[in-house]
Structure 1
Amino acid sequence: MIPQPKMVRILADIHTVEALIEQHVSYPDTALMVFNKEQADILEKHGVKQEEFKATYDYYLNHIAEMDKLYEIVVDTLSVRESKEQAAQGIQPQEQDPAPAGPVPPTVN
């Protein structure tokens, strides 16, 4: 199993690439091909095999409380990366809206 700190870095990288692809690639089939290639590159960069990543991710899917903790760290990591990027570009960080008071209705696609 991939250690949690490494899994956090991998997932943060994957979600960053995913967001960039969503912004710049219009066609779903092309986006999926680009994402698969980028994910493979990320795993290679971290020295992780696809099977190892899948097994670790499946573990977290079966242990939801641990998955929640993992993603809290991933979100914090992404926020820090965003702040650093904004600082490097001379952009003032925006204040975030507080969390909604009640349940959020599901998004309909």
Structure 2
Amino acid sequence: MKKLPVCLVLILSVLLTCCQRPEEPMPPSSLLPKEKMVQLLVELHLNESRVEAAHLRADSSQALFNQLQKDMLWRHEVSDSVFWQSYRYYAVHNKDLDELYGIVLDSLAARKYELGVR
């Protein structure tokens, strides 16, 4: 019976060491620049607000959001895979994602102020 916990610990330690991310993962070859990511994230959150304001059923809301996201990426000439690869890369680098979202939040707050929304 004592062998089971030892085996479990060994298996967990092997899994944890295998699953650790490298210190500096390689950026994807098509990494979007931070400025472009900020633009896309701002627009993504604005689309999310539009969908919420529409007060649709859940499935209709999801369909509308998906279409808005598809249109946004098409307008910016970015594939969804490039967007999500870039997002994952920035997310792995917490400092980068924090920096991006700091700018996104400032941009959204500035838009809110310009519109006089409280």
* Counterpart residue number, 2:54: 24
Q: Say which of 34, 37, 59 aligns to 1:7.
A: 37
SS of equivalent residue, structure 1 residue 30: helix
Q: What's the RMSD between the two structures over aligned residues?
A: 1.3
Aligned residue pairs total 88
* Counterpart residue number, 1:106: none
1:32-80 CA-to-partner distances (Å, cap 9, x unmatched) read 1100000011111111111110100111221112111110000011111
How many Å separate the matches in 2 of 1:72 and 1:62? 16
* Counterpart residue number, 2:7: none
Which structure has greater helix proportion? 2
How many Å separate the matches in 2 of 1:43 and 1:84? 25
How many Å separate the matches in 1 of 2:61 and 2:94? 28
Give the TM-score normalised by structure 2: 0.69
Any stretches of 5+ residues in structure 1 without a counterpart? 87-92, 95-109
1:72-101 CA-to-partner distances (Å, cap 9, x unmatched) read 000011111222233xxxxxx65xxxxxxx
* Counterpart residue number, 1:84: 114
Q: Say which of 41, 54, 72 aligns to 2:102.
A: 72
Give the TM-score normalised by structure 1: 0.74
SS of equivalent residue, structure 1 residue 70: helix
- Pair member with larger Rg: 2
